[in-house]
Amino acid sequence: MKRTTVAILLLVGLTNLAWAQKDDFKCPDDYGFYPHHISCDKYWKCDNGVADLKTCGNGLAFDDTDPKYLKENCDYLHNVDCGDRNQLEPPVGTPHCPRLYGIFADDGKCDTFWNCWNGEASRYQCSPGLAYDRDARVCMWADQVPECKNEEVAGGFNCPAPGEVPAAGSFSRHAHPDDCRKYFICLDGTPREYGCPIGTVFKIGDSEGTGSCEDPEDVPGCEDYYGDVDLKALRKLGL
């Protein structure tokens, strides 16, 4: 056998031995939960001084912030500071879930995101005018989310050009073309979608770029927006 081959086999053997020694974990105490040295989704459970290697659900990581190591807590990956524990199990996915656990943006609509738990996806939608920010993992104004285009943010609505609505200055209100309850506010040329309180609809003002939320019966064309809903009862409940 060539010396080079022998050297490679020896190196591989020593490497495997080193990993085996690292995984030969000894419990610091009789009972507790301890992070794995290189894996963020693995941890050691010690019971009567006996160590048992555990793995969090796919998309979860072991939270090692308990100084007493008494908490067995697997949390979403984005909530855990893994530090040097940078290895993870390969992704296991289902529709809308790149991993079995986690919160993920929708691939097609920027105002939609999915909460995945054990591969079951629950759909959530941001409030009108907001979109899901993949980094901050919260709903923000859609124009502040890079993945959103104007077609999604405002349904293709474009604010009037500077000076086109002279009385409004940098701020103006505009009716939504398809929904009586919704309207756009233009701030320095950027449209943001808003919604009137339940029980009201948007009424265009006397001058261009103005308007307010009013009772449906006072807005021509929107009288039947709420159908058979008892608006008086809604208002008494403060909805």
Q: Can you give the pLDDT at residue 1?
A: 47
Residues found in the chain: 239
Find out whether 214 and 225 touch, Cβ atoms under 8 Å.
Answer: no
**Chain-centre distance of CA 202, in angstroms?**
30
Give yes or no for a contact between 153 and 191, defined as CB atoms under 8 angstroms apart. yes
Query: Rounded to 5 degrees, what are φ and ψ at 204?
Result: -65, 140
SS3 11: helix
Cross-strand bridge partners of residue 39: 87
Q: What is the pLDDT of residues 8-22, one digit of tens each?
A: 333 334 334 334 434
Distances (CA, A) of 47 to 31, 57, 63, 67, 154: 5, 21, 19, 18, 57
Would you state the pLDDT for residue 19? 41
pLDDT of res. 234: 67
Residue numbers in the chain where pLDDT is lower than 70: 1-23, 150-155, 165-170, 234-239
pLDDT in tens, 123-172: 999 887 788 999 999 999 888 888 887 666 666 788 887 777 665 556 88
Q: What per-residue confidence (pLDDT) applies to 169? A: 56
Q: What is the DSSP string of 112-151?
A: EEEEEETTEEEEEEPPTTEEEETTTTEEEEGGG-TT--HH
Q: Taking the domains of the chain in order of start, what are their residue ranges?
A: 32-76, 102-145, 171-237
